[in-house]
Amino acid sequence: IKALQDAPSHGFLPTAFGDPGTLAQDDPGHARLKRAAVAYARAMHGQAIPKAQMDKSWGLKRPAYNPEQDLDQALAQDRLDDWLKALPPPYPEYEALRGAYVRYLKIGAAGWPALPDGAALRPGAAGPQVQALRQRLAVEDPAVGQAGADQPFDEALVQAGQRYQVAA
């Protein structure tokens, strides 16, 4: 259930494999939970996209994978936790991407500070637009920091804007 609850951190919808909170309720033999675990394993192995929808120009063939057999084996050997942990791609780049994705989900949920309408900002400008820009850039760039409302559009803010543009 915990792995299914954590599925959104891998880019899946929260209920892509059923409602994790109710999967174990009234489920003799854990049939629904097993189906959800198998669907999760398939998705983690890239089998969530129907074969007909895969772009043929990629030329990649999916390796054979039988999640039902793997799950049954993991359950028989009492290594379900190890099986679940081995499902995501084992690459540091994947974990970095996943971490960034989760971070942006949190930022999106909290909402980005909106910039008020006004004239184009230039170094030396001050006011609510500059303060809003500083707040928005600070969400992603801790070097920006928060400044007082009267802090002008200074060189540090120019550099933060340039770092943002390079990263975007």
Stronger pLDDT, 22 or 96, i.e. the higher one:
96
pLDDT digits (tens, 9 = 90+) for 46-69: 876 666 766 777 766 767 889 999
Do the Cβ atoms of 87 and 114 come closer than 8 Å? no
Find where tokens 């394993």 sit.
Answer: 41
Task: Compute the mean pLDDT over every residue in the chain, rounded to the nearest whole number.
Answer: 86
Task: Please give the share of the chain, as a percent, with pLDDT higher than 90.
Answer: 40
Reduced to 3 states, what is the DSSP secondary structure of residue 132?
A: helix
pLDDT digits (tens, 9 = 90+) for 75-84: 999 999 999 9
Task: Please give the share of the chain, as a percent, with pLDDT higher than 70.
Answer: 90
Task: Give the number of residues written for the chain.
Answer: 168
Go through 97-132 and write b for each residue having 16 or more CB atoms within 10 A of its CB, e for each that does not: eeeeeeeeeeeeeeeeeeeeeeeebeeebeeebbbb
Give me the mean pLDDT over the 79-92 stretch: 95
Per-residue pLDDT at 37:
95
Q: Round to whole Å and give the CA distance between 9 and 101.
A: 7
Per-residue pLDDT at 85:
95
Range with top average pLDDT, 90-94, 109-113, 124-128: 90-94
**Residues 6+ positions from 114 with CB-CB distance below 8 Å:** 132
Among 23, 40, 20, CA closest to 32: 23
Reduced to 3 states, what is the DSSP secondary structure of residue 18?
A: strand
Confidence of residue 146 (pLDDT cuts 50, 70, 90): low
What's 96's DSSP letter?
H
